[in-house]
Amino acid sequence: MLMERFFNAVSDLNKKIQDEQAENIKKAAEIIVDSIEKGGAVHIFDTGHLINSELIGRAGGLMLMKALNYSFNVDSKVRIRDNKGKNTSMEGLSKYVLAVSNVIPGDVLIIGSVSGKTVRPVDMAIAARELGVTVIALTSVAYSSSLESEHSCGKRLFELADLVLDNCAPVGDAMLEVEGINTKVCPASGLAAAYIMWALNAEIIELMLNRGMTPSVYKSINFPDGSEYNDKVAKEYQEKGY
């Protein structure tokens, strides 16, 4: 059955992550706790594969994990014309985003991009490192290695980060071949990202406690006194930074 094949593929994926990424997860936790201990902060810049919605504001999750997002609108109402020749990559925008953000040197930025080839994550990694921010990439090294960068620097995310957490997703992301369908089904990256990032959270919590730092952790708002607890702990986070 296809469902059983999926279960087996996920088990294999998780085992691969445990075997190959545990050391880098420990290194990432150490980088983060070192930064927090010195007054730094942790930012997550995700390009659309689960990390923000999975990690931020979740019961049992760390309050110190905060999203870095940006958006803007352009209002231009002249008649529609052919703009195919325009360069819309917006290289360099990340430098401005960081300049007006609450990101400072010594912070840690986790950038999530499965392919790691597009302009936004690559540009953000370049700008962050120039600012003195440590960049941790969450990406598929196998998939990214098979692709060419869309950024003018010619590099992919895994080639620019200070540390790489490989989600071990295959080329193309999907895991299962199915007869009658011309492409594989059931992607690996979302499950892998959640698995890696919660393992990272666990390692961060243990390291912080070992150093005498009690992290602020969310309680489920559906649990009795959950909202009140979160309000109290959120104030502690604002005071301590963790």
What is the predicted pLDDT for the residue at 81? 86
What is the predicted pLDDT for the residue at 89? 80
6 in a domain, yes or no? Answer: no
Contacts for 50-57: CB closer than 8 Å, 24+ residues apart: 50/112, 50/189, 50/190, 50/193, 50/194, 51/110, 51/112, 51/138, 51/193, 51/197, 54/193, 54/194, 54/197, 55/197, 55/198, 55/201, 57/218
152 in a domain, yes or no? Answer: yes
For residue 50, give the CATH number of its domain: 3.40.50.10490
What is the predicted pLDDT for the residue at 227? 96
32: Cβ–Cβ under 8 A, 6 or more apart, which residues?
42, 108, 200, 204
Tokens 């989600």 sit at which residue? Answer: 167
Cβ proximity of 201 and 216 under 8 Å: no
What is the predicted pLDDT for the residue at 82? 85
pLDDT tens track, the chain, 242 positions = 999 999 999 999 999 999 999 999 999 999 999 999 999 999 999 987 678 888 999 999 999 999 999 988 889 899 988 888 788 788 999 999 999 999 999 999 999 999 999 999 999 999 999 999 999 999 999 999 999 999 999 999 999 999 999 999 999 999 999 999 999 999 999 999 999 999 999 999 999 999 999 999 999 999 999 999 999 999 999 999 99
213 lies in which domain range? 21-68+90-237
11 in a domain, yes or no? Answer: no
What is the predicted pLDDT for the residue at 80? 87
16 in a domain, yes or no? Answer: no
Task: Indicate the number of domains in the chain.
Answer: 1
**Could you report how far apart the first and last alpha carbons of the chain are, in Å?**
46
167 in a domain, yes or no? Answer: yes
Q: At what angle are helices 189-210 and 2-37 packed, to 10 degrees?
A: 30
In angstroms, rounded to a whole number, what is the distance separating the alpha carbons of residues 62 and 204?
9
Tokens of 86: 């325009």
Tokens of 210: 């070992």
What is the predicted pLDDT for the residue at 50? 75
In angstroms, rounded to a whole number, what is the distance separating the alpha carbons of residues 240 and 230?
15
13 in a domain, yes or no? Answer: no
